[in-house]
Amino acid sequence: MNEPRPPDISFENVTKSFGAHVVLSGVSMEVAPGEVLCVMGRSGTGKSVTLKLMIGLLKADSGIVRVQDRDVAGLDQEGLSQMRRRIGFLFQGGALFTEFSVNDNLALPLQRFTKKSKAEIDALVQKRLDDVGLGKDREKMPSELSGGMRKRAGLARALVLDPSVLLADEPTSGLDPVTASEIDDLLLRLKQSRKPTMLIVTHDNRSARRLADRLAVLDGGRIVAVGTISELEKSDNALVRALLLTEC
């Protein structure tokens, strides 16, 4: 009988403050391999901080953050670099290098972290761009892309190294409803086809309803609810109910 795999992401009593401002206070949560967890909460409640802790951009004041059973705070620079290669990160604005074309934005991590030939890199970049509907836009500069196209390009770059974990920070923020739905479609297809572990920070309950296996709600630096959508719909917590019912 196979032993159960440890969670791909775990927070154990994690606290993080900036000066006197406590952002996270004793946060504990887990994301199982292949699971999609959406984290919701009011603005400024530490949702994005959780992502930065996972990739070592920030360090917890106390508690343990583990990614694929590695204590992130205990990794040296080489260990962090190796871990980050297995994690795709979709930033809010796409975070493309403005001086590089879409093609070169995707090719760069392949050139840095793999031994693939130029032909192999070109083929993989084309495939990833085709996957997100930008196959004909690879030579465009980021300034030539719409907001939705930048998100698509950012997602393609996040996936170019075939990560087993994907972190997404407000993937539909600032997009019109049609474009937001298209981004959700891409993430849903990814969930169904490649089954990566995903942690998605979002304020968009429509996205959460479509994508999440479970939902976690942050408030006052703490996880106040965690469960499936149907479980949280029965919550007597006013914030939980408001987040699930408010039209975005």
pLDDT the model gives residue 122: 95
- Structure token pair of residue 91: 């930033």
The answer to whether 186 touches 200, Cβ cutoff 8 Å, is no
- Structure token pair of residue 102: 């879409």
- Structure token pair of residue 85: 């290669």
Which tens digit of pLDDT belongs to each residue from 213-235? 999 999 989 999 999 999 998 88
Q: How far are the Cα atoms of 49, 165, 192, 242 from residue 195, in angstroms, in the given order?
A: 24, 9, 6, 30
Q: Which CATH architecture has domain 1-86+166-176+184-248?
A: 3-Layer(aba) Sandwich (3.40)
Residue identified by tokens 């029965």 is 234
> Which of 187, 5, 164, 11 shows the shortest CA–CA distance to 84?
164
The pTM is what?
A: 0.90
| C-alpha dihedral (223, 228, 229, 230), degrees to nearest 10 | -120
Lowest-pLDDT range of 62-66, 228-232, 239-243: 239-243
Confidence band for 153, pLDDT divided at 50, 70 and 90: very high
Identity of residue 174 = G
pLDDT at residue 101 greater than cutoff 60? yes
pLDDT the model gives residue 27: 95
Q: Which residues contact 101 (CB under 8 A, 6 or more apart)?
A: 138, 139, 140, 141
Instruction: Give all strands of the β-sheet with 70-71 in edge-to-edge order.
Output: 21-31, 9-18, 62-67, 70-71
- Pinpoint the residues of the chain covered by CATH 3.40.50.300: 1-86+166-176+184-248
Average pLDDT over the chain, rounded to whole? 91
